[in-house]
Amino acid sequence: MLKLEHQTLNDRAYGALKQELISGGFSPGQTLVIRKLAETFGISTTPIREALQRLVAERLLEMQNNRSVIVPLLSAPAFKELTHIRIAVEGLAGEMAATRMSEGGLVEIQAMLAGMQRAIEAGDASAYLALNEAFHFAIYQHAGAPILLNMIRDLWGRVGPYLKVLMQAGRYIPRSNDAHRRIVAALEQRDGPAVRVSLEQDIALAAAVLSENLRMTA
């Protein structure tokens, strides 16, 4: 029984750290200090250490020669490859979701779109990014494809630390909701191919802006 509880705590630590990666709670190149993380999440160092090791094994984090653990810096070729994969799998998930989404799910996504627009108008980058993440994953969850959803979460774990830069790019902010409006319009029509195209455009625009504004390794 004690072992089961311990394992549950390890899983909780792993889930919390992975969510921080997805949501941009960590920055590229940031060193993750076990004791500070344990204090932040209010648990002992052992589950944090084991969660970090698990994320290193999954290559969502990187261990240095001095045994410190950092958030990886993406190379330009790696970021390009990551973008191509995201376009393929997230587009597929969106297309699948279009014909499977409930009316209640659609209403929820429409509300998120409106919330993102309010965040843009208020200049609230944190609110926008949180809603953007919720918007995308609400769509993908309706695909009814748990393996695909886990793949997408792993991909966001790699790109999430870079997303804050988007809201610092002047040319991106006015256009940041354009593709989202097209996605919602296509979902309202249950038009899977149109959802896929609009998702691809959304990811491609964000990637182009990030490529211009990020210092990446060679």
> In tens digits, what is the pLDDT along the chain, a chain of 218 residues?
334 345 688 899 999 999 999 999 999 999 999 999 999 999 999 999 999 999 999 999 999 999 999 999 999 999 999 999 999 999 999 999 999 999 999 999 999 999 999 999 998 888 999 999 999 999 999 999 999 999 999 999 999 999 888 777 666 777 889 999 999 999 999 999 999 999 999 999 999 988 887 655 44
Amino acid of residue 45: T
Alpha-carbon distance of 52 to 70, in angstroms, equals 10
Burial of 213 (0-12, 13-18, 19+ CB in 10 A): middle
Q: Taking CA 155 as the corner, what is the angle to CA 178 and CA 18, rounded to the nearest 5 degrees?
A: 110
Rounded to 5 degrees, φ, ψ at 177 are -105, 0
Its CATH class, for the domain covering 2-70, is: mainly alpha
Q: Where are the domains of the chain?
A: 2-70, 76-213
In whole angstroms, what is the distance from residue 2 CA to residue 36 CA? 25
Q: Classify 76-213 by CATH class.
A: mainly alpha
Within 10 angstroms of residue 75's Cβ, the number of other Cβ atoms is: 12
Token readout for 135 is 């918007």
- Secondary structure (H, E, C), 67-82: CCEECCCCEHHHHHHH
Question: Can you give the pTM of this predicted structure?
Answer: 0.90
CA distance 57 to 63: 9
| Bridge partners, residue 62, by sequence | 70
